Structure 1
């Protein structure tokens, strides 16, 4: 973990683009609440093709203009170099200076993978097209990508993204901090030393958490799963237990030298803010040990 202690800490919150006018209004409220703690940036998830992509663009530009840097997720799957280049130009023209570059998942009904197949190819293309205009975030998987054939292959894939020009990384969420520590130690042995910021998922709804985790390969430790199951429909007990578990994990991560936290908000303010307040994050927390 020594390599991570050299980096200035940064804190960020992730949104998904709303589908309805009511969702847009809610996101504005959530954005305002989270802006009060002065995060380094927001990010907005991306869907390849059609209206989903357009919602991301609209959401990113609207949020960015309100005064806090907002980073779009950009997926290469299903897209052409020309389409991606035009999107990069649009973001640059609107002052966006950070992008989360991902391979992404193939949308249902889309037959071709696109001209760029992997995230490292997307990072290389962005550098070729836009130079150093954007700070490029990439994904990291402490518990390894669910489609990786081996752990070693997954680490090499991450290193390729860094070699292609990634500045920093955000991890998939996890609930076992040792997986993050081990991942960082493996990267250090490979000579890969960019900031790798832990992704944090507040625990609010057990059934939703289980569904998300099964989809993305994030492990819910047995002791956490069993306790959440025991609470049944008692949503307040689930909220309190989840807040305690995630706060304790975040404390361990920051104490060990993690260079910040990235909260998956699911367009809700209070779960992330409760953890934030428990941690007492302020300006002092942005200085590395």
Structure 2
């Protein structure tokens, strides 16, 4: 199934993201996670492209196949292109196609410290163009509400995003953010550049202090004062911090849904407990809105 069709069928699309286990971990751990996530009935599950070497990259295809063929949930397979040749990418695309996987999230990927410009692709747009030229995959792309860390300016970032749309991306998944105002400002600005494909808001429930420090260092997401107060208050109470992080994410999602967001993409961090708590907090609202939308369209 082409997941882009979901945005014509539903007012709010609700999806999850999982990642392959580390190379030293047993792959069975992700199967246990999927067993617990399946009952939550997400519209699709994206599977990240492992950064830990070829083993985790191969797992992306394997896990995507399990998501689709065992659990009956549509997968979105991540594919990064930095340092990759066209032959590498074509091999992965062939593997995905052979498993019946129709949707790909095309990404540049993090630039390695020793990167010297090798590979056939420099940007995600190059990868999108290549995929579009050889296969009928539905192609999804990423966006950054707070601007991509490597962009020279907001304008430069939006122009790059427009190129992704023109190259063939059908919808966007946003990087995580903790202040909805950044997302709303991004939506307003993209309209001025005629970027009109659906955008899912990426939400990550922060459940421990170490996690948020790592997130900020990796993607530069700004942490609002309100959330810093929560962290400081519950710094030495892990269970309370976890519950506060879940409550904060639920507040974000409810506000986004009330404002007419196209979809919510939940970064589950392979934590079924957190995914379940979030789903329980927002699913009734999403279901009600989608039901009303279906009735209105009949």
The alignment's TM-score, normalised by the length of structure 2, stands at 0.88
Give the corresponding residue for 1:87: 92
CA deviation after TM superposition for structure 1 residue 238, in Å: 0.5
**Match of residue 98, structure 1, among 100, 103, 107:** 103
Measured at CA, do residues 44 and 57 of structure 1 come closer, stay the same or move farther in structure 2, by a change above 3 Å? same
CA deviation after TM superposition for structure 1 residue 68, in Å: 1.0
Q: Is the 8 A contact 1:142 1:171 kept in 2?
A: yes
Give the corresponding residue for 2:58: 54
d(CA) in 2 for partners of 1:21, 1:85: 27
Give the corresponding residue for 2:78: 73
Between the two proteins, the alignment pairs up a number of residues equal to 283
Give the corresponding residue for 1:286: 290
50-59 vs 37-46, greater mean Cα deviation:
50-59
SS in 2 for 1:62: helix
**Match of residue 198, structure 1, among 198, 201, 215:** 201
SS in 1 for 2:40: coil
d(CA) in 1 for partners of 2:273, 2:46: 17
Q: Is the 8 A contact 1:196 1:259 kept in 2?
A: yes
d(CA) in 2 for partners of 1:209, 1:126: 34
- Residue 120 of structure 2 is aligned to residue 115 of structure 1: yes
Cα displacement string for residues 170-218 of structure 1 (whole angstroms, at most 9, x for unaligned residues): 0001011111111111111221110000001012111112212221111
Q: Is the 8 A contact 1:7 1:259 kept in 2?
A: no
Q: Is the 8 A contact 1:47 1:75 kept in 2?
A: no
d(CA) in 1 for partners of 2:116, 2:69: 35
d(CA) in 2 for partners of 1:118, 1:197: 21
Measured at CA, do residues 280 and 12 of structure 1 come closer, stay the same or move farther in structure 2, by a change above 3 Å? closer
Give the corresponding residue for 1:179: 182
SS in 2 for 1:175: coil
Cα displacement string for residues 128-171 of structure 1 (whole angstroms, at most 9, x for unaligned residues): 010xx222111010011111111111111111100100000100
d(CA) in 1 for partners of 2:288, 2:227: 31
RMSD over aligned Cα atoms: 2.1
Give the corresponding residue for 2:3: none
- Residue 147 of structure 2 is aligned to residue 144 of structure 1: yes
d(CA) in 1 for partners of 2:272, 2:121: 35
Q: Is the 8 A contact 2:173 2:202 kept in 1?
A: yes
CA deviation after TM superposition for structure 1 residue 257, in Å: 0.7
d(CA) in 1 for partners of 2:288, 2:97: 32
